[in-house]
Structure 1
Amino acid sequence: MDVLTNPVKDYPWGSLHHIARLTGRPPGGPEAEMWLGAHPAGPSSLVRDGRRRTLDEVIADDPAAELGHETIRRFGERLPYLVKLIAVDSPLSLQVHPAAAQAAAGYAAGDPHYADPWAKPEMIYALSPFTALAGLRPAGQAGELVARLALEPLDPVLAVLREGDGEKGSAAALGALLEWPDDERSALVKAIAEAAGPLGGPAFRLVRRLAERYPDDPAVLAPLLLRRHELAPGQALFLGAGVLHCYVDGFGVEIMGASDNVLRAGLTAKPVDVPGLLGILRPDAQPLPVAPLLGGDFLPPAPEFRLSVYGPRLDHSLDRPVPRILLCTSGSVTVEGGAPEGGQLEGGQPEEAAGGGGRRSETLEAGQSAFLPAKDGRVTLRGAGTVFCAEPHL
């Protein structure tokens, strides 16, 4: 096993305190995500044979030992998932992820909006109250909300919603907003903000908040077109291909397919691809609440990953030869298992000098993480706290 050092992404929508507090560091600027995995855009690092290396390099050197034959047979010589701590202080972009076939086709065609040939299903597990917009509302419900603004410029959008068929009508209305003439956008958003001002309710409050941040983007009406999801700590939500979504605020553990394929349509300073997003958007696709099984296993409908949450009393054995990432979020967990070939124990002690057949023990405190390669064999977790375990869903 290997203790990980993980990169932190300082996107401007990040929190000033969530990640710093969990990892025991003084707060600095906004910290949005901590990545745990082998994604080339931000791989974790570890110490092997006395030198620090990135996890993707370690896997490339010996895929069979690190990933196991079952993982390679299904996904090739790569870690198929990525774990993130995600700390949302301001809403993220309005986005959709492609299905596997769409990703492969887009990448093969050289579409610059497709960074790789893989799908990016994802699941968010709330560590704090977490708010997300995900999945379109039925057109009738969205139309009632838009009508409360009583804005003449929105009459064409309102007509689409009133004539629309369920979520397809909301998708058509979204398309009309996203394709609004550039020279009319500022005036429209200003009018929307003023009309939403006296209206109560979380949807209209969020419209005002978005209008302040994105004064030229008609996508500020997204809270009226999308369903709102409020997750309590311990709840999880799965987002499959084609689900329109936007995280609003909160702190959580996110697990996803190891892909960079995100098509954005608004509420961002990053490049957008409105035709591309509308082309892969599935109007009827909704997020799926995922409840844990008795043992703490979250099993979403995605082969790339599964997530288990163990605690507060820890006494678990992990047996399958698959690559795992452990993340401790409270208390401490002692991990006992086989050491990597040629690896070292804490303090630089060679593993063969420690006895116990080359096995080793490592204790993770809150905010710490470890990679368990497939070759480690049986691993046990003991202690008092909470630990997340990610692995392929095979």
Structure 2
Amino acid sequence: MRTVGVEEELLVVDTEGVPVSRAPEALEIAASRGEGEDVRQHDRAERGEEAGVPDTAHLMPELKAQQLELGTPVCSTLDEVGVQLRHWRGRADAAAGAVGARVAALATSPVAVEPVPTEGERYRRLVTAFGRTAEEVLTCGCHVHVSVADDEEGVAVLNRIRSWLPVLTAFTANSPFWQGRDTSYASFRSEVWHRWPSAGPNGPFADAADYHRLVDAVLATGTVLDTGMVYFDARLSANWPTVEVRTADVALRVEDAVTVAGLVRGLVETAAREARSGSAPPQMRAEVLRLSAWRAGRSGLSGELVHPRTGRPAPAADVLADLLGHVRPALADAGDEQRVTDGLDALLTRGTGADFQRRVHRETGSLPAVVRAAVEVTAGTEGDRAVAGVSR
């Protein structure tokens, strides 16, 4: 059984629904309650290292003081993933509550906000090096780690999952608003994220050595600060024996995050089996994958996606069905088939986080109300009940 871990970035917001720069205070509260991992994880973040998903659960800072990150421990089952995400969302919300705030699983802020950098040398270097890109970015993603045997298996996996990654962006789309306006995108986070010079898809690799040569070449340009800024859509962990998939918006609902984790594990296992059988990886060009990613961010599940097998437009529901069929044997062997199937069905029925946000906005006319509704769903106290009662 391949293990899986999930990292989520969350907005810290006040009672009116406005992002506030209280994450550092909240993390201090968390640490004072005996959560020693938090302090060590802050030190790792300052060194530009990856978070400790494969070893320990954690709360930690992010680039902006209006957000924080949580990470689950290593999990063997999707039940564990769900339990851990609910637990750590609760810990994050409690820490934020101690400083008069809440957390919201929103990939961008619906309300106009002036992002505030987190204090620290590395964060100062990011702002200095990347200017307006680093100053403006306030986005929250979901990263899924899945175990691999070694770097060779990891690269074989990367080569075979790359064409499916835009689909993850489409069904996790949870960022339709930016600076107080509807962007007409389902995932505007994905647009903002691609401002970073190292972000996005890459071509296939001959082997693990070829992958590491590319990372070395990226670092040699002097453009990124460190390996933590190798923002490929999927990458080998620099510290752990995992593949890390980074294309998803943070999911509004825990169960949607569980579905993402199940699908990513299914993709990794399916790719590894294909590699062992000698099946050649798909040869879709990185340029086409970039277009696929844009299409996914633009329409989410409400329009057509670029099909990972054909490179041609296809209804989103059909692409999801083909993704499910592609990984079904691996899901069945892991005991995940029914849960992931039900999760995708639920998404197609009720829509994405972006659909939820727009629905609340239509019913209330208020972007702060969107944030407040998202806070309740993040905490698991709102569920899917009608939003008409959300105050303006």
**Fold conserved between structures, TM > 0.5:** no
TM-score (normalizing by structure 2): 0.26
Structure (1 or 2) with the greater helix fraction: 2
More strand by share: 1
Q: TM-score, normalised by structure 1?
A: 0.26
Larger radius of gyration: 1
